[in-house]
Structure 1
Amino acid sequence: MMNEIDLTKVDLEKPFMAGLMDGMPGGFFVYRGDETKKIIYANQKLLDIFDCDTWDEFVELTGGTFIGMVYARDRMIVHDYVRRARESGRTSGVTNYRIHTKKGVFKYVQNYANFVNDYVEGGLVYVFIAAARSTHDRLTGLPSMLNFLD
Protein backbone atom coordinates (compact mmCIF):
# COMPACT_ATOMS: atom_id res chain seq x y z
CA MET A 1 0.00 0.00 0.00
CA MET A 2 1.34 3.43 -0.92
CA ASN A 3 1.80 6.10 1.70
CA GLU A 4 -0.63 8.93 1.12
CA ILE A 5 0.55 12.51 1.33
CA ASP A 6 -1.59 14.80 3.46
CA LEU A 7 -1.60 17.88 1.20
CA THR A 8 -2.99 20.04 4.00
CA LYS A 9 0.38 19.71 5.73
CA VAL A 10 2.64 20.24 2.71
CA ASP A 11 5.02 23.20 3.03
CA LEU A 12 4.72 25.39 -0.08
CA GLU A 13 8.43 26.18 0.14
CA LYS A 14 9.41 22.54 -0.33
CA PRO A 15 10.56 21.20 -3.70
CA PHE A 16 7.46 18.95 -3.93
CA MET A 17 5.12 21.93 -4.24
CA ALA A 18 7.41 23.79 -6.64
CA GLY A 19 7.55 20.67 -8.83
CA LEU A 20 3.79 20.28 -8.63
CA MET A 21 3.14 23.86 -9.78
CA ASP A 22 5.77 23.72 -12.53
CA GLY A 23 4.34 20.39 -13.71
CA MET A 24 0.93 21.88 -14.45
CA PRO A 25 -0.09 21.80 -18.13
CA GLY A 26 -0.26 25.59 -18.36
CA GLY A 27 0.63 28.78 -16.58
CA PHE A 28 -0.36 29.21 -12.96
CA PHE A 29 -0.04 32.32 -10.84
CA VAL A 30 -1.42 33.94 -7.70
CA TYR A 31 -1.99 37.65 -7.30
CA ARG A 32 -3.30 39.92 -4.58
CA GLY A 33 -6.99 40.70 -4.88
CA ASP A 34 -6.50 44.32 -3.85
CA GLU A 35 -5.91 47.38 -6.02
CA THR A 36 -2.22 46.47 -6.55
CA LYS A 37 -2.99 43.12 -8.22
CA LYS A 38 0.63 42.23 -7.41
CA ILE A 39 1.69 38.76 -8.52
CA ILE A 40 3.06 36.82 -5.56
CA TYR A 41 3.69 33.49 -7.31
CA ALA A 42 4.15 32.35 -10.91
CA ASN A 43 5.22 28.97 -12.24
CA GLN A 44 7.79 28.44 -14.98
CA LYS A 45 5.12 27.70 -17.60
CA LEU A 46 3.70 31.19 -17.11
CA LEU A 47 7.15 32.66 -17.70
CA ASP A 48 7.41 30.48 -20.82
CA ILE A 49 4.07 31.78 -22.15
CA PHE A 50 5.52 35.30 -21.88
CA ASP A 51 8.82 34.19 -23.49
CA CYS A 52 10.69 35.07 -20.30
CA ASP A 53 13.57 32.99 -18.97
CA THR A 54 13.58 34.43 -15.45
CA TRP A 55 11.26 35.96 -12.88
CA ASP A 56 13.14 39.26 -13.22
CA GLU A 57 12.48 39.38 -16.99
CA PHE A 58 8.79 38.68 -16.34
CA VAL A 59 8.57 41.47 -13.73
CA GLU A 60 10.35 43.88 -16.07
CA LEU A 61 7.86 43.04 -18.85
CA THR A 62 4.67 43.11 -16.74
CA GLY A 63 5.54 45.27 -13.76
CA GLY A 64 4.87 42.20 -11.61
CA THR A 65 1.11 42.79 -11.68
CA PHE A 66 -1.84 41.01 -13.20
CA ILE A 67 -3.01 44.11 -15.03
CA GLY A 68 0.51 44.49 -16.45
CA MET A 69 0.16 41.03 -18.00
CA VAL A 70 -2.89 42.03 -20.03
CA TYR A 71 -2.37 43.76 -23.39
CA ALA A 72 -3.16 47.46 -22.90
CA ARG A 73 -6.12 47.49 -25.32
CA ASP A 74 -7.78 44.60 -23.43
CA ARG A 75 -7.31 45.96 -19.90
CA MET A 76 -10.67 47.72 -19.70
CA ILE A 77 -12.47 44.55 -20.83
CA VAL A 78 -10.72 42.51 -18.14
CA HIS A 79 -11.26 45.21 -15.51
CA ASP A 80 -15.00 45.33 -16.29
CA TYR A 81 -15.24 41.53 -16.19
CA VAL A 82 -13.59 41.37 -12.76
CA ARG A 83 -15.79 44.19 -11.46
CA ARG A 84 -18.98 42.51 -12.68
CA ALA A 85 -17.91 39.17 -11.22
CA ARG A 86 -17.30 40.70 -7.80
CA GLU A 87 -20.54 42.70 -7.87
CA SER A 88 -22.50 39.54 -8.67
CA GLY A 89 -20.78 37.63 -5.84
CA ARG A 90 -19.08 35.10 -8.13
CA THR A 91 -15.86 33.66 -6.78
CA SER A 92 -14.60 32.16 -10.04
CA GLY A 93 -14.72 32.90 -13.72
CA VAL A 94 -13.20 32.53 -17.16
CA THR A 95 -12.11 35.35 -19.45
CA ASN A 96 -10.09 35.76 -22.65
CA TYR A 97 -7.59 38.49 -23.43
CA ARG A 98 -4.37 39.15 -25.28
CA ILE A 99 -0.86 39.33 -23.92
CA HIS A 100 2.28 40.84 -25.42
CA THR A 101 5.35 38.67 -24.88
CA LYS A 102 8.99 39.63 -24.40
CA LYS A 103 9.62 38.65 -28.04
CA GLY A 104 6.91 41.08 -29.19
CA VAL A 105 4.39 38.36 -30.04
CA PHE A 106 0.69 38.81 -29.31
CA LYS A 107 -1.04 35.74 -27.90
CA TYR A 108 -4.64 35.04 -26.98
CA VAL A 109 -5.01 33.40 -23.59
CA GLN A 110 -7.86 32.04 -21.54
CA ASN A 111 -7.80 32.84 -17.84
CA TYR A 112 -9.49 30.59 -15.24
CA ALA A 113 -9.58 32.50 -11.95
CA ASN A 114 -10.73 31.67 -8.44
CA PHE A 115 -11.09 34.45 -5.85
CA VAL A 116 -10.32 33.40 -2.26
CA ASN A 117 -10.08 35.12 1.08
CA ASP A 118 -6.97 33.81 2.81
CA TYR A 119 -6.97 34.36 6.57
CA VAL A 120 -3.29 35.35 6.54
CA GLU A 121 -2.82 37.04 3.15
CA GLY A 122 -6.28 38.53 2.64
CA GLY A 123 -7.90 38.47 -0.81
CA LEU A 124 -6.01 36.39 -3.36
CA VAL A 125 -6.76 35.29 -6.90
CA TYR A 126 -5.55 31.86 -8.07
CA VAL A 127 -5.28 31.69 -11.86
CA PHE A 128 -4.67 29.01 -14.45
CA ILE A 129 -3.86 30.42 -17.88
CA ALA A 130 -3.64 28.62 -21.21
CA ALA A 131 -3.50 29.45 -24.91
CA ALA A 132 -6.92 30.34 -26.32
CA ARG A 133 -8.18 30.24 -29.83
CA SER A 134 -8.13 33.57 -31.56
CA THR A 135 -11.39 35.45 -31.10
CA HIS A 136 -10.64 38.05 -33.78
CA ASP A 137 -9.08 37.98 -37.22
CA ARG A 138 -5.54 39.36 -37.00
CA LEU A 139 -5.76 41.18 -40.31
CA THR A 140 -9.18 42.83 -40.05
CA GLY A 141 -9.78 42.86 -36.29
CA LEU A 142 -13.27 41.47 -36.93
CA PRO A 143 -14.61 38.51 -34.92
CA SER A 144 -13.23 35.21 -36.17
CA MET A 145 -15.65 32.72 -37.73
CA LEU A 146 -15.55 30.50 -34.61
CA ASN A 147 -16.17 33.51 -32.36
CA PHE A 148 -19.01 34.67 -34.63
CA LEU A 149 -20.63 31.22 -34.57
CA ASP A 150 -20.34 31.01 -30.78
Structure 2
Amino acid sequence: MTQEQIQHLVLQQMPEHLPGGILIYRDNKREEILYANSWFISMMGCSSFEDFMELTGGIFANLVHPDDRDGVERDIREQIAGSRSKLDFVNYRIIRKDGSIRRVEEFGHRVFIPGVGTVFYVFFLDNDTKYKIY
Protein backbone atom coordinates (compact mmCIF):
# COMPACT_ATOMS: atom_id res chain seq x y z
CA MET A 1 0.00 0.00 0.00
CA THR A 2 1.37 3.42 -0.91
CA GLN A 3 1.79 6.25 1.58
CA GLU A 4 -0.96 8.16 -0.23
CA GLN A 5 -3.37 5.19 0.13
CA ILE A 6 -2.54 4.86 3.82
CA GLN A 7 -3.13 8.57 4.40
CA HIS A 8 -6.46 8.37 2.57
CA LEU A 9 -7.63 5.43 4.71
CA VAL A 10 -6.48 7.03 7.95
CA LEU A 11 -8.15 10.35 7.13
CA GLN A 12 -11.33 8.61 6.04
CA GLN A 13 -11.61 6.89 9.44
CA MET A 14 -10.47 9.85 11.55
CA PRO A 15 -13.84 11.48 12.38
CA GLU A 16 -15.15 8.30 13.97
CA HIS A 17 -12.03 7.55 16.01
CA LEU A 18 -11.12 10.90 17.54
CA PRO A 19 -11.73 10.92 21.31
CA GLY A 20 -14.47 13.53 21.19
CA GLY A 21 -17.40 14.88 19.27
CA ILE A 22 -17.18 16.51 15.87
CA LEU A 23 -19.88 18.79 14.55
CA ILE A 24 -19.96 20.81 11.34
CA TYR A 25 -22.56 23.51 10.88
CA ARG A 26 -23.16 26.42 8.52
CA ASP A 27 -22.29 29.94 9.60
CA ASN A 28 -25.60 31.40 8.54
CA LYS A 29 -28.67 32.71 10.34
CA ARG A 30 -30.09 29.21 10.89
CA GLU A 31 -26.73 27.55 11.76
CA GLU A 32 -27.77 24.36 10.01
CA ILE A 33 -26.01 21.18 11.12
CA LEU A 34 -24.27 19.39 8.26
CA TYR A 35 -22.43 16.59 10.08
CA ALA A 36 -21.99 14.99 13.50
CA ASN A 37 -19.72 12.02 14.22
CA SER A 38 -20.93 8.98 16.17
CA TRP A 39 -19.11 10.11 19.34
CA PHE A 40 -21.07 13.38 19.40
CA ILE A 41 -24.35 11.65 18.53
CA SER A 42 -23.78 9.29 21.46
CA MET A 43 -22.77 12.21 23.73
CA MET A 44 -26.18 13.71 22.98
CA GLY A 45 -27.86 10.42 23.95
CA CYS A 46 -29.03 9.69 20.41
CA SER A 47 -28.90 6.40 18.53
CA SER A 48 -28.36 7.73 14.98
CA PHE A 49 -27.75 10.87 12.96
CA GLU A 50 -31.46 10.97 12.12
CA ASP A 51 -32.32 10.73 15.83
CA PHE A 52 -29.84 13.53 16.55
CA MET A 53 -31.28 15.74 13.79
CA GLU A 54 -34.78 15.17 15.13
CA LEU A 55 -33.64 16.17 18.64
CA THR A 56 -31.92 19.36 17.47
CA GLY A 57 -34.13 20.25 14.54
CA GLY A 58 -30.87 20.35 12.61
CA ILE A 59 -29.92 23.67 14.28
CA PHE A 60 -26.76 24.35 16.32
CA ALA A 61 -28.48 26.65 18.86
CA ASN A 62 -30.82 23.82 19.86
CA LEU A 63 -27.83 21.91 21.29
CA VAL A 64 -27.10 24.63 23.79
CA HIS A 65 -28.93 24.97 27.11
CA PRO A 66 -31.41 27.86 26.70
CA ASP A 67 -29.83 29.80 29.57
CA ASP A 68 -26.42 29.62 27.84
CA ARG A 69 -27.43 30.39 24.23
CA ASP A 70 -26.99 34.17 24.16
CA GLY A 71 -23.64 34.01 25.93
CA VAL A 72 -22.35 31.21 23.72
CA GLU A 73 -23.31 33.01 20.51
CA ARG A 74 -21.77 36.26 21.79
CA ASP A 75 -18.54 34.54 22.92
CA ILE A 76 -18.12 32.71 19.61
CA ARG A 77 -18.70 35.87 17.56
CA GLU A 78 -16.34 37.98 19.71
CA GLN A 79 -13.59 35.36 19.61
CA ILE A 80 -13.91 34.86 15.84
CA ALA A 81 -13.89 38.63 15.23
CA GLY A 82 -10.73 39.01 17.33
CA SER A 83 -8.84 36.08 15.83
CA ARG A 84 -6.95 35.99 12.55
CA SER A 85 -7.21 32.21 12.54
CA LYS A 86 -10.99 32.34 13.19
CA LEU A 87 -10.87 30.07 16.26
CA ASP A 88 -13.12 29.92 19.30
CA PHE A 89 -13.19 28.12 22.64
CA VAL A 90 -16.40 28.03 24.67
CA ASN A 91 -17.59 26.06 27.69
CA TYR A 92 -21.34 25.52 28.10
CA ARG A 93 -24.16 23.09 28.84
CA ILE A 94 -25.94 20.83 26.36
CA ILE A 95 -29.27 19.10 26.80
CA ARG A 96 -29.23 15.42 25.95
CA LYS A 97 -32.14 13.46 24.50
CA ASP A 98 -33.13 12.15 27.94
CA GLY A 99 -33.27 15.73 29.27
CA SER A 100 -30.07 15.43 31.28
CA ILE A 101 -27.56 18.26 31.16
CA ARG A 102 -23.84 17.92 30.44
CA ARG A 103 -21.10 20.50 30.39
CA VAL A 104 -18.93 20.51 27.27
CA GLU A 105 -15.86 22.31 26.00
CA GLU A 106 -16.08 23.37 22.38
CA PHE A 107 -13.16 24.22 20.12
CA GLY A 108 -14.33 25.77 16.84
CA HIS A 109 -12.75 26.88 13.59
CA ARG A 110 -14.63 29.02 11.08
CA VAL A 111 -13.64 28.26 7.48
CA PHE A 112 -14.88 28.86 3.95
CA ILE A 113 -15.45 25.79 1.77
CA PRO A 114 -15.97 26.38 -1.96
CA GLY A 115 -19.40 25.13 -3.01
CA VAL A 116 -20.62 24.93 0.60
CA GLY A 117 -19.96 28.36 2.10
CA THR A 118 -18.69 29.34 5.52
CA VAL A 119 -18.93 26.62 8.16
CA PHE A 120 -17.76 25.91 11.67
CA TYR A 121 -15.73 22.77 12.31
CA VAL A 122 -16.21 22.06 16.00
CA PHE A 123 -14.55 19.58 18.35
CA PHE A 124 -16.35 18.77 21.62
CA LEU A 125 -15.08 17.29 24.84
CA ASP A 126 -17.62 16.14 27.39
CA ASN A 127 -16.38 17.24 30.83
CA ASP A 128 -17.55 13.95 32.40
CA THR A 129 -15.35 11.98 29.99
CA LYS A 130 -12.48 14.42 30.44
CA TYR A 131 -12.45 13.99 34.20
CA LYS A 132 -12.74 10.20 33.97
CA ILE A 133 -9.59 10.18 31.84
CA TYR A 134 -7.71 12.26 34.42
* TM-score, length-scaled by structure 1: 0.76
Q: Deviations over 1:24-81 (max 9, x none)?
A: 1110011101111111011000100001001121112111111111111100111111
Given that 2:80 and 2:110 are in contact with CA atoms closer than 8 Å, whether structure 1 keeps it comes out as no
Counterpart for residue 62 of structure 1: 56
Higher relative contact order (CA 8 A, sep 6+): 2
| 1:83 partner SS | helix
For the pair shown, which has the larger CA radius of gyration, 1 or 2? Answer: 1
Cα distance per residue 1:93-121 (max 9 Å; x no partner): 11001011011210000000001011221
Q: Distance in 1 between matches of 2:52 and 2:36?
A: 10
Runs (4+) of structure 1 exceeding 4 A deviation are: none
- CA shift for structure 1 position 7: 8.7
* Change in 2 beyond 3 A, CA 1:73/1:122: same
Question: Counting helix residues as a fraction of each chain, which structure ranks higher?
Answer: 2
| Structure 1 unaligned blocks of 5 or more | 134-150
**Residue of 44, 56, 59 corresponding to 2:38:** 44
Is 1:123 matched with 2:122? Answer: no
The alpha-carbon deviation at position 16 of structure 1 amounts to 6.3
State how many pairs are aligned: 127
Paired letter, 1:48: S
Per the alignment, in what secondary structure is the counterpart of residue 52 of structure 1? coil
RMSD, aligned α-carbons: 2.3
2:131 corresponding residue in structure 1? none
- Whether the aligned pair in 2 keeps the contact of 1:96 and 1:132 (CA below 8 Å) is no
Partners of 1:65 and 1:126 in 2: CA distance: 14
Query: What does residue 4 of structure 2 align with?
Result: 5
- Unmatched 5+ stretches in structure 2: 129-134
TM-score normalised by length of structure 2 = 0.84
